[in-house]
Chains A and B, each alone.
Chain A
Amino acid sequence: MAIEWYLMKSPHDQLSGFESEALNDFGKEGFLEALDSDIALDVELYNYDLSECTKLRAIFNNRLTDTKLKTLVRHLLVPIGSCHAGMYAKVKDRFWIITGIVDNNGIYEKAILQICNYEIAWLADDGKPRKRWANVISASQYNNGEHENENYTIRSDQLLITIPDDDDSLMLRQNMRFVIDRRCKIYEKRLTEGVTKDTSFPLITYDITRVDSVLYDYQGSGLFEFMVTQDEQHDSDGYYVIDGAGYWLCYEPEETEEEIHSNVCAIISDGDIVYYDLEPSVYLAKFYDQDGNEISGVEASWELDGEMKEYLDITRTGNDIAIEANNRKLLGKSFTLTLSADGYEAVSTGFTVRAFM
Chain B
Amino acid sequence: MSKRERTISDLGLFKEKVHTALYKNDDIKELLLGDLTGKSQSEIISEFKDHVKSHLFIDDTIEETGSFIYYDIALPFVHPQTKLCQLTMYIIVHRSILEDYHKEGYHGNRADILAEMVQDTLLNDEKVCRDFGIGPLGIYAVYPYNSRRFYGVQIIFEVPNFR
Contact = CB atoms under 8 A, between A and B. Distances in A.
B19 interface: yes
Interface residues of B, number: 12
A277 interface: yes
B54 A357 contact: yes
A278 interface: yes
A269 B49 CA distance: 20
Given A357-B15, A357-B54, A277 B41 contact: no
A292 B49 CA distance: 37
A354 to B, nearest CB: 10
Interface in A189-205: none
A355 interface: yes
| Interface of chain A, main secondary structure | loop
Interface in A281-333: 281-282
Interface string A29-46: 000000000000000000
Contact of A356 (B16, B40, B42): B16
A275 B44 CA distance: 13
A326 to B, nearest CB: 11
B41 A355 contact: no
B41 A356 contact: no
A279 B24 CA distance: 8
A355 B23 CA distance: 12
A356 B15 CA distance: 9
A47 B41 CA distance: 60
Interface in B50-102: 54
Nearest to B16: A355
Contacts of A281: 41
Given A357-B16, A357-B19, A270 B42 contact: yes
Contacts of B19: 356-357
Contacts, number: 28
A233 B15 CA distance: 45
B20 A277 contact: yes
B51 to A, nearest CB: 13
B8 interface: no
Nearest to B53: A357
B42 A278 contact: no
Interface in A236-284: 270-271, 275-279, 281-282
A278 B23 contact: yes
A288 to B, nearest CB: 22
B142 interface: no
Contact of B45 (A275, A276, A282): A275
A279 B16 contact: no
Contact of A270 (B20, B23, B40): B40
Contacts of B15: 357
A281 B15 CA distance: 22
A54 B49 CA distance: 70
A214 B94 CA distance: 50
A355 B15 CA distance: 10
A277 B49 CA distance: 16
Contacts of A271: 41-42
Nearest to B54: A357
Interface string B2-33: 00000000000001100110011000000000
Interface string B137-162: 00000000000000000000000000
A152 to B, nearest CB: 26
B15 to A, nearest CB: 6
A171 to B, nearest CB: 39
Given A357-B15, A357-B54, A278 B20 contact: yes
Interface string A340-357: 000000000000000111
A279 B20 CA distance: 10
A357 B18 CA distance: 9
A277 B8 CA distance: 22
Contacts of B23: 278, 356
Interface of A: 270-271, 275-279, 281-282, 355-357
What 4 A-B pairs are tightest by C-beta distance, nearest first? A355-B16, A271-B42, A270-B42, A357-B19
Given A270-B41, A279-B41, A357-B15, 16 more contacts: A270-B40, A271-B41, A271-B42, A275-B20, A276-B16, A276-B20, A277-B20, A278-B20, A282-B41, A355-B16, A355-B20, A356-B16, A356-B20, A357-B16, A357-B19, A357-B54
Interface of B: 15-16, 19-20, 23-24, 40-42, 45, 49, 54
26 contacts: A270-B41, A270-B42, A271-B41, A271-B42, A275-B20, A275-B45, A276-B16, A276-B20, A277-B20, A278-B20, A278-B23, A278-B24, A279-B41, A281-B41, A282-B41, A355-B16, A355-B20, A356-B16, A356-B19, A356-B20, A356-B23, A356-B45, A357-B16, A357-B19, A357-B49, A357-B54
